[in-house]
Amino acid sequence: MASGSYFPPPIKEVEIPKKDGQMRKLGIPTITDRIGQQVVKNYLEPRFESIFSNNSYGYRPNRNAHQALEEVQRNCWKNDWVIDLDIKGYFDNIDHAKRKHIPENWASMYIERWLQMPVQRRNGELIQKHGKGTPQDGVISPLLVNLFLHYAFDKWIENLNSNVKFERYADDAIIHCRTKRQADWLLNKLHERMAECHLELHTEKTKLVYCRDYRRQEKHKNVKFDFLGYSFQPRISKSQKTGNLFQGYGCVISISSRKKIAEKVAISLEESKTCRSIVGIAQRLNPQIRRWVNYYGKFHMWEMHHVFRLLHSRLVRWARPKYKRYKNSICRAYTWLKRIKKQFPYLFYHWKLNFSI
């Protein structure tokens, strides 16, 4: 790489299912490319971090999804309307010509080569790039995308109206507005801006949402939106000062996230049919349970009860055909699981957090 003679090979195309049933295409670079991209990323990232907006949270050091969610919740309490924004296929439509803050010839040269790498499909066919798009699984791709959207979205909206609050995580963004009139005006401006940058808003996922709670009682069709695996919606809350119940507006684990977890639990237990005891299942599931609790339990952890109730029913379903004495009695199987929890309270990660069966 130091001599400039390195040319990256084609990237491998891999398709993974999306939650809407469509397929997401990933571009997998070689290990050598990943190392080279990491070197360039480490060199450029501190420079880019000094100019990036504080409202951007995705793929950045010392920033995470929980910080974005906390900021969304605070701004939802202060503003009545939300624009739930999704940029359609933004990894595939990033303009190669729009790159700034890379004066080094060697870095610009290698970035240009990585962007122009052809994509190799499973049948061996090579697909050439046409001046736009970046591999979705490339190490340097998130940094380049953040740089592009910094000028295409973040900087633009800050210059348009500095009083408008927003949070962006990769291609998902939440914009807060005082009134519906302001939200409609801003959404029209966003369509124009995306067209200028050769991008497009996802028509099905982009919508206006009214933040209804005990103070805001207007009736509108959309009062709920999903962001980073959480659902923001009207919900009953308890006042910390008086202890009274009231209708607030907050976030809990979304239904789609719960369905995704249920699918993973079903797959894991299907693969664990050969386990001789529940200990083997716990060893397989505990790393995943720990991740779910750490992420989805950040806000209103008790909502995870729905997830773990499903997990317990799956464990009972696993035990009944395995042990003859529980085959014809689901009540005995649940009694057995409760006895296991009492004897081994730390067997599953969520049991130590006092989730009941």
Give the integer Cα–Cα distance in Å for 267 and 106. 46
pLDDT of amino acid 48: 92
Q: Kindly indicate the confidence band of residue 104, based on its pLDDT and cuts at 50, 70 and 90.
A: confident
Please compute the mean of the pLDDT values over residues 15-44 and round it to a whole number: 83
Beta strands in 151-190 (DSSP E): 165-169, 172-177
Q: How many CB atoms lie within 10 A of CB 168?
A: 23
Q: How many CB atoms lie within 10 A of CB 286?
A: 15
Give the integer Cα–Cα distance in Å for 10 and 15. 16
pLDDT of 346 over the 80 cut = yes
pLDDT tens-digit readout, 181-229: 999 999 999 999 999 988 888 888 899 999 999 999 999 999 999 999 9
What spatial distance separates the first Cα and last Cα of the chain, rounded to whole Å? Answer: 57
pLDDT of 50 over the 60 cut = yes
pLDDT over 70, % of the chain: 95
pLDDT tens-digit readout, 300-310: 888 899 999 99
Strands 11-17, 119-120: pairing is: parallel
Mean pLDDT of the chain: 88
Q: Kindly indicate the confidence band of residue 239, based on its pLDDT and cuts at 50, 70 and 90.
A: confident
288, two tokens: 């995943």
pLDDT tens-digit readout, 242-266: 888 888 898 999 999 999 999 999 8
Please compute the mean of the pLDDT values over residues 134-148 and round it to a whole number: 84
127, two tokens: 């697909």
Give the integer Cα–Cα distance in Å for 231 and 253. 6
pLDDT of amino acid 74: 94
pLDDT of amino acid 11: 83
